[in-house]
Structure 1
Amino acid sequence: MRGRRSFRPWLLALLLPVVSGCVMFERPPAELACDPALVGRWLPLPGADTEKMPLGAGDYAEIDAQCQVSLVEHGKPPRSKFRALGFELDGQRYLALSQDDMRDLFEDTKPATPGKLPATSVLLLKYRIADDVLEVALPKASRALESIQQGDRSVREADTMVYVVEGDAEALRRRLATDPGLFDPFDPASRNPRLRRAGTEATP
């Protein structure tokens, strides 16, 4: 039943979509900061792919002035806090989630163990805010795989369907600027995760 589900399954689907793969970047491409435009309460809009963000009525994300995110399921206390820091490049906005952020997100209290990803690696999420609607575009594993097949040595498969785009910060910025196909397009028809900023009347 929907009302009893945990946040973890849909968060995993949102941030690490195992069906299509996952694309990580070796390091943040730029200095990270808190975007004040993200501060507030965000309510899910219908139409998103349910494997990416099956939020229901009454669920929301709360982002404070330090970009600390609390995810709240209807009728339950806030859970899963993490920091949503990011950067802007050529007019495009990105969030960069570190592995620590992701452990906080999944409420994983076990000590970190050595993995196949660089310790500095981040998951990038592209986003835009228009008319108080926040839309998040995920990186496309199919594009990373295509790059590997074309002989691009800056992209490798770190694990099954987990890809790493390698390089220093300048090289990664250049990649973002010249390879727009690396992310899903901003388009309601794409069924990207979309959220609406709540008005003051919706905030207790």
Structure 2
Amino acid sequence: MSYKISKKYALSGPEGDSHKTSSKFIILHDVGANSGAAANASYFKNNWRTAQTYVAFVVGDGGKVYQVGTPGYVQWGAGSTANAQAPVQIELGRTTSKSQFKKDYAAYVELARDMAKKYGIPLTLDAGGASTTGVKTHRWETDHIWGSHVDPYGYLSPMGISKAQLQKNIKNGIKTTTNKIYTVKKGDSWWKIATDHKTTVAKLAVLHGKKVISMLYPGDKIKLK
């Protein structure tokens, strides 16, 4: 789990709905305005009764996760029918930064997958009708149960995430690659390094001023990817 859950804005005591849900849906939202995760989590915390809206988690601000409602208990993020069947609803805060969005989106997907697994909900997105369990968007809930909201696709699409991509990520997760550091040994060659490690060499030369030095020596470190 690459994210941490903050309970800074979590409802407590008599706050929030006391009814337990069934485990049929995980519902995905976005906040619908250009504001981040902490701002929306704070709003839910302080206005849940008067605004009559809140969810379990709000994600954003660079991949942060804030808990508001209690997972497994009714949250007021969709219509009453869907609310009663969704142990977890998740809001995604907005940003205009593509680099921040990448972090927010990764946490959003990972959290949705983790919560689906926790409650035995299939990792399918927007599949079937009202009787089909799985991960659902608010748009799906509007189309198949009740309401007029169409999030989160209106926010995701301009950021480069289509419905097909979201489906793929919910099913398989988001795979990331990291560079490995390799220490050169006597007798190594570029071909040997690349072949032995089944990789491409990210650093192809050692730079010395403006001159490219193609030689490496035992003990030198290079990046593999």
Pairwise TM-score range, normalised by the shorter structure: under 0.3
Q: When you count helix as a share of all residues, which structure comes out higher?
A: 2
Q: Larger C-alpha radius of gyration, 1 or 2?
A: 2
Structure with the greater relative contact order (CA < 8 A, sep ≥ 6): 1 or 2?
1
Q: Normalised by the size of structure 2, how large is the TM-score?
A: 0.23
